[in-house]
A and B are shown apart, each in its own frame.
Chain A
């Protein structure tokens, strides 16, 4: 009986200790959350002060925006994650980029029938600036890239493909793997590419080259010129703009959305 008493008592004691520990654990989290809440309020005040002095800078100065974004990324903060975030609410960065996102979507949609959903960053930039009108804030290519990165999450196939020092922006959910990307990069120099060029530059076999080119044709991203001297040429309309460009009005762009 004596032993059982000790045993029972020990268990009971242990249980009590565990319960107390859990309680303390909960209290700890409570404390930290309370602390975070307080610090958050302080931070909000700091941000408000910063905004009152420098909000204009963010809106007007693309360089400053780049700096701002880079610093945020370094410390692990995404100022564009939510419109409800402090950054967005107080600095207005959110509205700037989210609206840009809408404009990008509209431009891409309006031109999709022509370029199959691939467009150079330059052309996108030009068209977006046109749509914004001359009284709108200046928008840089860096701004466009950041807005596009955010659009990816909507699932409609937004992607950024590096080619020859610039970027091609994809806006359709077409599968573009490394092979496709590499051929696009090859085509960027002249706006078109041939099977022989692919075979000699990339050292691929005929089958592989044809497979990639056919996929691009099917997606409407490449056009076939069978009347070219020598062999057929595969042209990328996305890279055409130096040769001809098409005006679209903001109204046309809006109409493009059903």
Chain B
């Protein structure tokens, strides 16, 4: 809003416009209200940064009003400046543009083609500057255009969804047929059907033993993953969480990313396809990819050694020592506990693991 200092003559909730000749302010609530200042009236401008409870501002210092000044909201003021308050955003950009205009002073070279007319017609209190109308119209047109685009998009979307719905219905009826036939459908047909469902994003309505064996796409993906993940796994001690894999693979791809479900479905096929990796599910629900050559149970033995050396360790401490993620470190310690090699001390200070002396020293 435009502040006339202390005498809060507020013009708030408006739009500030900058032309080569003028600074224009238009009230968003009262469309009839529009005020302007010629740029030639400005002496200089300064910024006031935003603070707590204060919005960013531009202070506009003005020349004394000329005697032939057009009628405006005020005949006079004891202050020689106005403040423009940017409640939402735009102060930085506006300041930059205004400074540019002040530097270029284009109003000196280009006489205004239309004089500003104050229309005090039969409708009382109606103040309108003709030059503004063009700007308003453009804004209105742009709004209408955007609206039209959106409504067209929504219309097209609805039509598209109708067609998608038909696909869903069709897939349901096929699924029912498959259920009825109980195994008289070939493996090939099942795979075909699954790939159609995959394309449409329709959940597989048929629960069969082969569920999760995925489609050709997942098989291919599994093979790709085996290739991509070999080296990273070796670097990380043979084991990675599925979330790590998701990030690694997608970051490498850049485009045509895998969905989380794609990854899980592909990994479920690793063992069946006799690839050198496998998917493993821990009790906590955490899923990891391991090299086939990796033996977590063997790693537990070395974990026990490490813990014994230090007396006791938390998952975080162990992770740091060994160079693993905390998530996997915790899983290893939990597994060690499950196997009876470690026991826990669960206190508010955290979960700490100790060698299980009950086992070894009884």
Q: Which residues on A are within 8 Å of B, measured CB to CB? A: 22, 25-26, 28-30, 32-33, 35-37, 39-40, 42-44, 46-47, 50, 53-54, 57, 61, 64, 67-68, 71-72, 74-89, 94-95, 98-99, 101-102, 105-106, 112, 150-157, 172-173, 214, 217-218, 220, 224, 257-258
Given contacts A76-B168, A155-B286, A218-B348, contact A84 B262 (CB under 8 A): yes
Q: Knowing that A53-B153, A258-B244 touch, tell me 5 more A-B residue pairs with CB under 8 angstroms.
A: A26-B181, A36-B196, A40-B167, A98-B257, A154-B260
**In contact, A101 and B156 (Cβ under 8 angstroms):** no
Is B189 at the interface (CB under 8 A from chain A)?
A: yes
Alpha-carbon distance between A122 and B212 when the two chains are bound, in angstroms: 36
Which single residue of chain A is at the shortest CB-CB distance from B245? A154
**In contact, B174 and A83 (Cβ under 8 angstroms):** no
279-300 of chain B: CB within 8 A of chain A: 281, 284-287
**In contact, B287 and A154 (Cβ under 8 angstroms):** yes
Which A residues touch B351, using CB under 8 A? 218
Which single residue of chain B is at the shortest CB-CB distance from A37? B196
Pick the residue among B149, B167, B263, B350 that contacts A39 (CB under 8 A). Answer: B167
26 pairs from A and B in contact (CB 8 Å cutoff): A26-B181, A26-B185, A29-B178, A32-B173, A36-B193, A42-B163, A46-B163, A67-B157, A68-B157, A71-B157, A76-B168, A77-B201, A78-B201, A80-B201, A81-B203, A82-B198, A83-B259, A85-B198, A86-B201, A98-B257, A153-B260, A173-B284, A173-B286, A173-B327, A257-B325, A258-B324
Alpha-carbon distance between A83 and B253 when the two chains are bound, in angstroms: 12
Q: Which of B89-97, B109-117, B235-243 contacts A (4 or more CB under 8 A)?
A: B235-243
**In contact, B242 and A156 (Cβ under 8 angstroms):** yes
Is B192 at the interface (CB under 8 A from chain A)?
A: yes
**In contact, B156 and A50 (Cβ under 8 angstroms):** yes
Which single residue of chain A is at the shortest CB-CB distance from B257? A98
Which A residues touch B228, using CB under 8 A? none
**In contact, A153 and B350 (Cβ under 8 angstroms):** no
Which single residue of chain B is at the shortest CB-CB distance from A61? B150
Which A residues touch B158, using CB under 8 A? 71
Task: Determine how close the nearest CB of chain B comes to the CB of A49; give it in whole angstroms.
Answer: 8
Task: Determine how close the nearest CB of chain A comes to the CB of B154; give it in whole angstroms.
Answer: 7
Most buried by B among A86, A102, A258: A258
Question: In terms of DSSP, what is the predominant structure of the interface of chain A?
Answer: helix
Given contacts A68-B157, A258-B325, contact A36 B171 (CB under 8 A): yes
Is B104 at the interface (CB under 8 A from chain A)?
A: no
117-172 of chain B: CB within 8 A of chain A: 149-150, 152-154, 156-158, 160-161, 163-168, 170-171
190-213 of chain B: CB within 8 A of chain A: 192-193, 196, 198-203
Question: In terms of DSSP, what is the predominant structure of the interface of chain B?
Answer: helix
Is B187 at the interface (CB under 8 A from chain A)?
A: no
Given contacts A40-B167, A67-B157, A258-B323, contact A217 B259 (CB under 8 A): no
**In contact, B163 and A43 (Cβ under 8 angstroms):** yes
Which single residue of chain B is at the shortest CB-CB distance from A256? B325
Task: Determine how close the nearest CB of chain B comes to the CB of A123; give it in whole angstroms.
Answer: 20
Which B residues touch A87, using CB under 8 A? 201
Which B residues touch A64, using CB under 8 A? 150, 153-154
Pick the residue among B150, B198, B324 that contacts A84 (CB under 8 A). Answer: B198
**In contact, A154 and B255 (Cβ under 8 angstroms):** no
Task: Determine how close the nearest CB of chain B comes to the CB of A26; give it in whole angstroms.
Answer: 6
Given contacts A81-B259, A153-B261, A154-B242, contact A217 B201 (CB under 8 A): no
Pick the residue among B168, B250, B287 that contacts A99 (CB under 8 A). Answer: B250
Pick the residue among B157, B324, B327 that contacts A50 (CB under 8 A). Answer: B157
Which A residues touch B192, using CB under 8 A? 33, 37
**In contact, B259 and A82 (Cβ under 8 angstroms):** yes
Which single residue of chain B is at the shortest CB-CB distance from A97? B259
Which A residues touch B150, using CB under 8 A? 57, 61, 64
Which single residue of chain A is at the shortest CB-CB distance from B283? A173
Which B residues touch A77, using CB under 8 A? 164, 168, 200-202
Is B309 at the interface (CB under 8 A from chain A)?
A: no
**In contact, A26 and B184 (Cβ under 8 angstroms):** yes
Is B108 at the interface (CB under 8 A from chain A)?
A: no
Is B29 at the interface (CB under 8 A from chain A)?
A: no
Is B264 at the interface (CB under 8 A from chain A)?
A: yes
Pick the residue among B161, B173, B259 that contacts A80 (CB under 8 A). Answer: B259
